[in-house]
């Protein structure tokens, strides 16, 4: 489990004066029913009782309780967006790049100079669900706090290592023209698309699905970036989305991506790659998966044929806590694989070869 250090606590104390979930709740129809905010440890607590969030606020009224929870989830999404911009100093990039003024757009986040710097680049790709950019899981944010449910610790660690960061937004797929309000619920979107009201649900061009969003950002940004070494950290359905990208843009991805850290990935190598031996070999060599398991962190777990890469324990059996529990292990792995790749590339570079030859001649 991660703990906030003194610097993080000071940061949250400062944020209390300028940014809070409570300020977003004020003025909503659930202002009294949602008297919650995040404390300095990033935990969601009731302002009066300091209790954790209670789902069953209304007795015997599941639908009303669910609506209240959806409102909270929407506000948390907006709050996390603000944290990404104001705390992590990320920039919002709207897509598609050629959208007309009135066209529905999606977006993703990138760190400053991430696309123009030659330093390595880390791409975060989350699971499928009601949550958007910057979140590993909304339920985890509500029950365990920001440091376990958001991608902020991953972003901070990457930036501290002077790496560029891209935070994808694969679940931001539709806009509801009837209310002119973006919907976050994946299940609600599917229900709407199957109903007579489907005409009101308009897909966002270039982002109508997690797969399309990821390919669009790859084609227009990541593949054109100055970074020679790119790594993906993919959770849950995000792993399936990455393998889809790998299949669709095979040589580009294999040449530019140096490593992938899967977390409880839903990908299926055999099914998705259609038996392509080159892709399967690449996954085996450059990917590793952390899975929810009772074994200690980083201990080997039997590799399933569906995954086709080395598999280790995330150090927890809790699916929602898996990303935060294996944070440090993932970055250690990425650093080691990047070092191995750059060392190999240097040994095979013409300059290095000439230098070595000159040294040998000089020793004769």
Pairwise CA distance, residues 128 & 166, whole Å: 17
The answer to whether residues 149 and 260 belong to one domain is yes
Structural contact between residues 174 and 204, judged by C-beta atoms closer than 8 angstroms: yes
Q: 62, 86, 110: which is the final residue of a domain? A: 86
pLDDT at position 190? 41
**pLDDT of res. 132:** 93
- What is residue 308's predicted lDDT score, i.e. its pLDDT? 85
Where do the H-state alpha helices sit in the chain?
A: 6-18, 21-25, 62-86, 138-144, 146-149, 152-160, 186-193, 210-217, 237-248, 250-256, 269-273, 277-286, 322-325, 327-347, 350-362
What pTM did the predictor assign? 0.85
Residues 66, 95, single domain; the answer is: no
Q: Are residues 322 and 228 in the same domain?
A: yes
Per-residue model confidence (pLDDT) at position 357: 41
At residue 356, the pLDDT reads: 40
The pLDDT assigned to 261 comes to: 98
Domain count, the chain: 2
Residues 156 and 61 in one domain: no
Give the model's pLDDT for residue 187: 41
Residue 32's domain comprises 1-86
pLDDT at site 3 = 45
Q: Are residues 343 and 268 in the same domain?
A: yes
Give the end of a domain, one of 86, 120, 148: 86
- Model pLDDT, residue 344: 67
Q: What is the CATH number of the domain that holds 318?
A: 3.40.50.1820
Asked if 227 and 120 count as a contact pair (C-beta separation under 8 A), the reply is yes
Same domain, 19 and 148: no
Quick count: other Cβ atoms within 10 Å of Cβ 46? 14
Residues 48 and 95 grouped into a single domain? no
In this structure, are 13 and 141 located in the same domain?
no
The tens-digit pLDDT sequence of the chain (364 residues) is 444 444 555 555 555 556 788 888 887 778 888 999 998 888 999 999 999 999 989 888 889 999 999 999 999 999 999 999 998 999 999 999 999 988 999 999 999 999 998 889 999 999 999 889 999 999 999 999 999 999 999 999 999 999 999 999 999 998 866 544 444 443 444 444 444 444 567 899 999 999 999 999 999 999 999 999 999 999 999 999 999 999 999 999 999 999 999 999 999 888 888 888 999 999 999 999 999 999 999 999 986 667 689 999 999 999 999 999 999 999 999 999 998 887 765 555 554 444 444 444 444 4
Pairing, β 91-95 against β 106-110: antiparallel
* Residues 168 and 74 occupy one common structural domain: no
Angle 340-151-333 (CA atoms, 0-180°, nearest 5)? 15
* Residues 288, 224 share a domain: yes
Residues 51, 109: one domain? no
pLDDT of residue 202: 87
| 17/46 same-domain check | yes
Identify the domain boundary among 55, 86, 117: 86
Q: Which is nearest to 235 in space by CA: 335, 337, 319, 146?
A: 319
């Amino acid at each position: 489990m991660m703990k906030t250090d003194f610097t993080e606590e000071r940061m949250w104390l400062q944020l209390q004066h300028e940014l809070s979930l409570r300020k977003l709740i004020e003025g909503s129809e659930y202002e009294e029913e949602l008297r919650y905010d995040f404390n300095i440890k990033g935990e969601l607590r009731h302002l009066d009782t300091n209790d954790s969030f209670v789902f069953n606020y209304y007795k015997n009224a599941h639908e009303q309780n669910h609506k209240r929870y959806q409102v909270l989830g929407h506000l948390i999404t907006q709050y996390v967006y603000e944290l990404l911009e104001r705390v992590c100093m990320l920039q919002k990039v709207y897509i598609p790049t050629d959208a007309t003024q009135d066209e529905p757009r999606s977006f993703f986040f990138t760190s400053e100079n991430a696309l123009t710097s030659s330093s390595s680049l880390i791409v975060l790709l989350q699971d499928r669900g009601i949550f958007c950019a910057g979140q590993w899981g909304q339920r985890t944010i509500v029950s365990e706090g920001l440091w376990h449910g958001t991608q902020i610790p991953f972003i901070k660690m990457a930036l501290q290592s002077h790496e560029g960061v891209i935070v994808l937004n694969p679940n931001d797929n539709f806009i509801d023209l009837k209310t002119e309000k973006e919907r976050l619920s994946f299940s609600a979107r599917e229900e709407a698309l199957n109903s007579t009201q489907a005409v009101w649900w308009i897909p966002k061009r270039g982002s109508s699905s997690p797969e399309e969003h990821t390919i669009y950002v790859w084609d227009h940004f990541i593949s054109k970036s100055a970074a020679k070494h790119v790594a993906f950290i993919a959770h849950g359905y995000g792993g399936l989305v990455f393998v889809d990208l790998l299949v669709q843009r095979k040589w580009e991805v294999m040449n530019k991506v140096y490593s992938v850290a899967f977390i409880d990935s839903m990908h299926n190598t055999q099914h998705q790659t259609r038996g392509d031996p080159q892709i399967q070999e690449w996954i085996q060599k450059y990917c590793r998966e952390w899975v929810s398991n009772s074994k200690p962190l980083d201990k080997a777990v039997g590799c399933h044929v569906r995954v086709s890469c080395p598999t280790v324990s995330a150090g927890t059996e809790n699916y929602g806590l898996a990303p935060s529990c294996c944070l440090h292990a993932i970055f250690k792995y990425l650093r080691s694989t990047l070092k191995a790749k750059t060392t190999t590339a240097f040994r095979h570079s013409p300059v290095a070869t000439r230098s070595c030859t000159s040294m040998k001649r000089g020793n004769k």
